[in-house]
Amino acid sequence: MTKDFEPFVYPKANLIAGVDEVGRGPLVGAVVTAAVILDPNNPIVGLTDSKKLSEKKRNVLFDEIKEKALAWSLGRCEPEEIDELNILQATMVAMQRAVADLNIQPDFVLIDGNKIPQLPMAAQAVVKGDLRVAEISAASIIAKVTRDREMEVLDAQFPQYGFAKHKGYPTKAHFEALELHGAIEQHRKSFKPVKRILGIE
């Protein structure tokens, strides 16, 4: 809990899912979302915003969440869908997919941020939810570890881009690699730096 926020008051519901996304900012790869329903009888210690954890700690919690949660699932939108929809709409679709894919349907969904996708159950947006709501923290860890590992796989295929280091985000090294080697199929063609390299501005 951070001192900057009021303690979060959970809605009255039997099964609450937390949802978070990773990968809105990168120039390459999917936007990945996760939905998690935690087991109140099987608590997980150390949940917080995935970005505040070391990679080692994230990986440990990733396995623990998958083992202890009542349900967890992933949703995603690929680069071509992002280019077609725009990144905000693609994120909303990926969140819908994550919730729909849970093998237990929640009766309430808490979503990190300030926007809610259309869902068949009640939902609430929670600003800085990954710091305030355990279910959202768990979802942020599942999504981040999943996407980071995908970037490591892409790095093995295209080592010249440095994806394992910058995870596809628009860093100086990524811009330099784009200038030198051009874009690959997994790059988001609607994002300005990629459009510029492709000459489609």
CATH number reported for the structural domain that contains residue 73 in this entry: 3.30.420.10
Residue stretches of the annotated binding site for a divalent metal cation: 20-21, 112
Structural domains of the chain, count: 1
Look at residue 162 and tell me if it is in a domain: no
Q: Say yes or no to pLDDT of 3 above 60.
A: no
Of residues 48 and 200, more confidence is placed in 48
Q: What pLDDT was estimated at residue 200?
A: 81
Q: Say yes or no to pLDDT of 174 above 70.
A: yes
Averaged confidence pLDDT in the chain: 95
pLDDT above 90: percentage of residues in the chain: 91
Q: What pLDDT was estimated at residue 81?
A: 98
Look at residue 189 and tell me if it is in a domain: no
Find the domain containing 105 and state its range. Answer: 16-156
Q: What pLDDT was estimated at residue 6?
A: 67
Residue stretches of the annotated binding site: 20-21, 112
DSSP symbols for the chain: --TTSPPP---S-SSEEEEEEE-SS-SBS-EEEEEEE--TTS--TT---GGGS-HHHHHHHHHHHHHH-SEEEEEEE-HHHHHHH-HHHHHHHHHHHHHHT-SS--SEEEEESS-----SSEEEEETTHHHH-HHHHHHHHHHHHHHHHHHHHHHHH-GGG-HHHHTT---HHHHHHHHHH---TTB-TTSHHHHHHHT--
Look at residue 191 and tell me if it is in a domain: no
Q: Say yes or no to pLDDT of 1 above 60.
A: no
